[in-house]
Amino acid sequence: MRDLSPPMASAAFHILVALAEQDRHGYGIMLRVREQSGGRVPLRTGAFYRHLSRMIDDGLVAEAATRPADADPRRGTYYRLTPAGRRVAAAERTRLVDMIEASAVLSRAPRGGRA
Amino acid sequence: MTPPTLGARAARWYVRVLRCYPAGYRARFERGMLDGFAEELDAARRRGRLAATWCWCAAIVDAVRYGLAARRAEAVPARPRLSVRLEGLWQDARYGARGLIRSPGFAATALVVMAVGIGLSTSLFGLMDGLLYRPWPLPDADRVVAVYGGGATGAGDANTSPVKFRYLRDRAQTLDLVAHRDGYLRLGLAPDEELMASYTVSGNYFSTLRVPIAQGRGIQVDEDVIDRPVPVVVISHGLWTRRFGRSETIVGQAVRLNDVEFTIVGVTGAGARTAESAPDVWVPLAMTPLLNPGRGFDQDFLRNPDYCCVRLAGRLRGDATSQIATVELAALVDQYNEAVHAGRAGMIVAGTWLADQPGGTRVLQVFAMVMAALLLLLVVACANVGNLHVARAMRRRRELTIRYALGASRWRVVRQLLAESVVLAGLAATLAVLGAFVLPRLVFGMLDAPDLDLTVGIRVPAFAAALAMLTVVTSSLAPALQATRRLASTQRAGDEPRLRLRSGLLAVQVATSTVLLVGAALFGRSLIQVSTFDPGFDVAEVSVLSVFAPPNTVDSTRQDAMIDSVRASFAEADLPLGEVNTVPLSDSRFHTSIWRPDEAEDEAETVYTLDVSPGYFDVLGLRLTGGQAFGSSDTSGAIMINETLAERLWPGEPAVGRTLRGGGMGGDLNVVGVVADAYLANLDRVEPTLFRQRSSRSVGVNMRALLVRTDPAQVSRARAAALAVEPEGRVTARALRSQFENALALPRIAAAIAGAIGLVAMVLASVGVFGVFSFVVQERASEIGIRMALGARGRQVVGLVFRQTSWPLVAGLTAGLGVAMAAAPMLRAYLVGIGPYDAPAFVAVIVVLALAACAATVVPVRRATRVDPAVTLRQE
């Protein structure tokens, strides 16, 4: 298994987060990522599926065996987060939180000044 | 909310775009991607056409970018990319090169052997390519053909009179015919002027063949009209450079040729050639009578259908082939024979490269034989290199085993072993191509040969590369496979198979060199036979006198006067003087057809024809076996023939007093005498020969040779007499012996080449014998030591070694002799004085090979008998 120790690409993290909420189909994930990031992660088809295929290969994401009750029958495959994926996402979250805490000093520092 | 769907067309197009992705990827994600694109396109369409177009563009760029990335990512684990595999090869090659550098002795030996082997064959191939397969350098060269008289009889002479040429030219539909006659013309006025090689050509010559022109123009049709010729001349690029300093104002300049004033109208392009060789000047055929006003033959040449010859060439029209043209010309020749003048049937239309011409087959055969010998030599060389590889692979067995244990596949190990010999063969082939570039030039520079196009095209390197591949396969594939056998097993592979392989290689070597040596021995024996053999006429004591009129004499009467005084001088001293148109064993031959009155002309014999004076037989010491020699009183119908011809015409019956027809003479011919056979034309066989009585008409100025018994005092008297008539003339004498030596040159060269090849093969085979014996002694050193310790004698040890190693010698020799016996008859045509199964030659080969084998075994056998039991036992 590939070494997925954080940091990971923000797009990948967004995908994991989007899937953590619920199982989604491909386009659904892309839409959700755009929404979550306020458009700052402009995930397009090619890049998205590259991330997705890697995460499938690494066992973070799997095709959903059952489809949600409200699933559109015309949609393609639904994807779901695996337990491993959930752990990796959690680890990444922890890392990001730690970083934010560690960098709290930035918000208190006077502008242009020196500590 | 139902998701938007793509229209059928858009979906088709998008699926096409998605082909950028690898197949597996598409299988997994295509549906999802289509979904997503449908949504996006739907949204974009709602914003307008521009947005929709943009959406498409973005999708395409996206697919290309990530699709290719995905493909790359996917390719790596499945199969190394091409560059990676090439890198592996490169790595092998570097590894091979390093290995070779580490064993310079092996590398140098193998490289030299292979380079010589490949180089010789490649040089010969280059020569063949340049000599045999280059058409005349003219535009659309493959439509230009050479045309020969003959046809069914297969005789390749250009037996065509100008009358016949005009008849054919005017009627042929399949090709445009041109004609030329070669000769010499004197340029300028100075008495010491050299003669220029000339072609007198038909008016359509330049326009039909499209001879490249550097300056001015070619000769035109209206300049070659009989009785109204225009004295124009086209000069060669060489002459223009040599004599006129490439003057830009050359066209229009006047020059004198044989005292006739000509206007230069053009200069041919550099290297222009319309036959095997190129002349210095081209003039219209119709000028012939004016150029030699004193020569009766030339006066009538253009109109008398008896007079020959012009050489024909042509350019095929439309899509005619040379086969079609041959058929058409044969029909036209039949018409001509019926309507104008009876003569030989048929014509041959052939390509202009040498291999396609009537004489080319023989040249090709010689080349093929030498090539075969050189390839056999390469086989011997390869076997040696193979032996070296076996030895080397054995020393590296430990290393190979380790590689194998570390996970290299057998194929990988074999590849590594082959890499070395590929590097070697590559180097050898490079050297060979360089050699092929330099060698023929060197040889031909020394021989002062005609212009040869020896440009090394793509074919020569290709040939060298093919040979190199062959070398690799034959010399190192078997050793490599053998060395990697049973690498997995911990036990050491037995030496038995390796010895078997080496012995097999040795047997091949011995067999091949036996074949080559037999060839060499046959040629050598043939040479000995030739140089000691009696040509049937007196070679030693005869000289050839040549009489030259003062330079610049067009009229032959002044030369006649000189010759008359020489004759008178000999008559006065009562010494014989023979006159003939062709000196014995000279290159020029003259043939006519002859037939019995009860035969049809089609069954005519082609015979070597000589015009001789009565003294000819005396001077050469030719014996008469029947009848008498020409007397001065004989009428023009008297002829003599040699025994071979008599036997062919009237087997077992007397020939004297019989009648014949043909022989280039009209009416019935009476055989007045039969002459003992002599090798007058060449040394390999006695040609059926017709002697005609010398007449002034049949002997041209250039063909007059006087034969006398060697007698310096008489020669100087005769010279004085001739110079009294013409003080500025010249009389030279040379020994007939030199002619004989010239005739021997070719067999000598053949024997030298065959001998050299045979010798090299023998040396290589001896090295092979040495290698195998050494190997056996080395491998069995401990065993020999034990045996010696137990009391074995040196002789028994030698016997032991021989028992194990002599079978390849015996087998090789037997096989080689068998092949040689089968192949020897092919040499029959090239052997003089001996048959192809010449016992002395075969015995000599066996003896020489046996001696060579013994010599090669001396050192290893001595080593075997000197094995110190104590040392070997300690090693145990």
Q: What is the pLDDT of residue B587?
A: 67
For A15-19, B231-235, B320-324, B394-398, which range has the lowest pLDDT when averaged over its residues? B394-398
Please choose, from the candidates B729, B414, B435, the residue with its C-alpha nearest in 3D space to the C-alpha of residue B560.
B729
Q: What is the pLDDT of residue B496?
A: 59
Give dist(CA B765, CA B792) in Å, integer: 31
Please choose, from the candidates B66, B76, B35, B57, the residue with its C-alpha nearest in 3D space to the C-alpha of residue A53.
B66
Each as own residue / partner, the long-range contacts of residues B446-452 (CB below 8 Å, 24 or more positions apart, any chain) are B450/B276, B450/B277, B451/B271, B451/B273, B451/B277, B451/B278, B452/B130, B452/B131
- What sign has the CA pseudo-torsion B546, B550, B555, B557? negative
On the question of a cis peptide bond just before residue B293, with omega within 30 degrees of 0, the verdict is: no
Question: Which tokens go with B489?
Answer: 């097993």
For A2-6, B285-289, B737-741, which range has the lowest pLDDT when averaged over its residues? A2-6
Q: What is the pLDDT of residue B177?
A: 93
Mean pLDDT, to the nearest integer, of B581-591?
75
Please tell me if residue B252 touches chain A, with a CB cutoff of 8 Å: no
Min Cα–Cα distance to chain A from B12, Å: 17
Which of B5, B15, B19, B29 to mutate: most A Cβ within 10 Å?
Answer: B29
Cα B648 to its chain centre, rounded Å, is: 34
Residue of A nearest to B2 (CA): A72
Mean pLDDT, to the nearest integer, of A3-10?
58
Is residue B47 over pLDDT 50?
yes
| pLDDT tens by residue, B726-737 | 887 778 888 888
Q: What is the pLDDT of residue B703?
A: 46
State the pLDDT confidence band at B695, using cuts at 50, 70 and 90: low
| Most confident of the following: B207-221, B354-368, B642-656, B665-679 | B207-221
| b/e A3-40 (16+ beta carbons within 10 angstroms → b) | ebeeebeebbbbbbbbbeeebbbbbbbbbbbbebbeee
| Most confident of the following: B18-27, B488-497, B761-770 | B18-27
CA distances B241 to A115, B219, B267, Å, are 94, 20, 10
Considering only CB atoms, A50 lies closest to which of B35, B36, B70, namely B70
Mean pLDDT, to the nearest integer, of B749-769?
80
| pLDDT tens by residue, B431-490 | 988 888 887 777 666 655 445 555 667 888 888 999 998 888 888 888 888 777 766 554
- What sign has the CA pseudo-torsion B611, B614, B616, B620? positive
Min Cα–Cα distance to chain B from A47, Å: 7
Please tell me if residue B55 touches chain A, with a CB cutoff of 8 Å: no
A46 vs B66: CB contact, 8 Å cut-off? yes
Considering only CB atoms, B65 lies closest to which of A46, A53, A76, namely A46
What DSSP line would sit under B84-149, residue for residue? HHHHHHHHHHHHHHHHHHHSHHHHHHHHHHHHHHHHHHHHHHHHHHHHHS---SSTTGGGEEEEEE
What is the average pLDDT value for chain B, to the nearest integer? 80
Please tell me if residue B31 touches chain A, with a CB cutoff of 8 Å: yes
Q: DSSP state, B840?
A: H
Q: Are B18 and B63 in contact (CB under 8 A)?
A: yes
Give dist(CA B770, CA B852) in Å, integer: 10
| pLDDT tens by residue, B115-134 | 888 888 888 888 788 777 77
B29 vs A52: CB contact, 8 Å cut-off? yes
Q: Are B354 and B129 in contact (CB under 8 A)?
A: no
State the pLDDT confidence band at B206, using cuts at 50, 70 and 90: very high
Mean pLDDT, to the nearest integer, of B598-621?
81
| pLDDT tens by residue, B504-532 | 888 888 888 888 888 888 888 887 877 77
Nearest 5 degrees, angle CA B491-CA B493-CA B497? 160
Min Cα–Cα distance to chain B from A8, Å: 19
Other C-beta atoms closer than 10 Å to the C-beta of B249 total 8
Q: What is the pLDDT of residue B294?
A: 67
Phi/psi for A22 (5° steps) reads -165, 165
| pLDDT tens by residue, B83-109 | 656 667 777 888 888 878 887 777 888
For A58-72, B339-353, B861-875, which range has the lowest pLDDT when averaged over its residues? B861-875
What DSSP line would sit under B750-813, residue for residue? HHHHHHHHHHHHHHHHHHHHHHHHHHHHHHTHHHHHHHHHTT--HHHHHHHHHHHHHHHHHHHH
Is residue A3 over pLDDT 60?
no
For the purposes of burial, counting CB atoms within 10 Å of the CB of B772, is it exposed (0-12), middle (13-18) or buried (19 or more)? buried
Window 808-837 of B: residues touching A by CB (8 A cutoff) are: none
Is residue B267 over pLDDT 90?
yes
Please tell me if residue B244 touches chain A, with a CB cutoff of 8 Å: no
| Most confident of the following: B6-10, B88-92, B249-253, B414-418 | B249-253
State the pLDDT confidence band at B565, using cuts at 50, 70 and 90: confident
Q: DSSP state, B557?
A: H
Residues of B in contact with A74 (CB under 8 A): 2-3, 5
Min Cα–Cα distance to chain A from B34, Å: 9
Q: What is the pLDDT of residue B286?
A: 92
Rg (CA), chain B: 39
Q: How many CA atoms lie within 13 A of B282 on its CB side?
A: 31
Q: What is the pLDDT of residue A2?
A: 41
Question: Which tokens go with B657?
Answer: 């007093």
For B139-153, B661-675, B814-828, which range has the lowest pLDDT when averaged over its residues? B139-153
The span from the first CA to the last CA of chain A, in angstroms, equals 43
Considering only CB atoms, A26 lies closest to which of B32, B63, B70, namely B32
A46 vs B34: CB contact, 8 Å cut-off? no
A53 vs B59: CB contact, 8 Å cut-off? no
Looking at per-residue pLDDT, the higher value among B81 and B58 belongs to B58
Which of A50, A52, A57, A78 to mutate: most B Cβ within 10 Å?
Answer: A50
Q: What is the pLDDT of residue B382?
A: 85
Is residue B151 over pLDDT 50?
no
Amino acid at B433: V
Other C-beta atoms closer than 10 Å to the C-beta of B804 total 15
B68: helix, coil or strand? helix
Give dist(CA B572, CA B74) in Å, integer: 107
Give dist(CA A93, CA B751) in Å, integer: 93
CA distances B32 to B120, B337, B547, Å, are 67, 90, 105
Is residue A65 over pLDDT 80?
no
ipTM: 0.80
Question: Which tokens go with B736?
Answer: 């007939």
A53 vs B35: CB contact, 8 Å cut-off? no
Q: Are B620 and B716 in contact (CB under 8 A)?
A: no
Please tell me if residue B33 touches chain A, with a CB cutoff of 8 Å: yes
Please choose, from the candidates B397, B415, B382, B384, the residue with its C-alpha nearest in 3D space to the C-alpha of residue B483.
B397
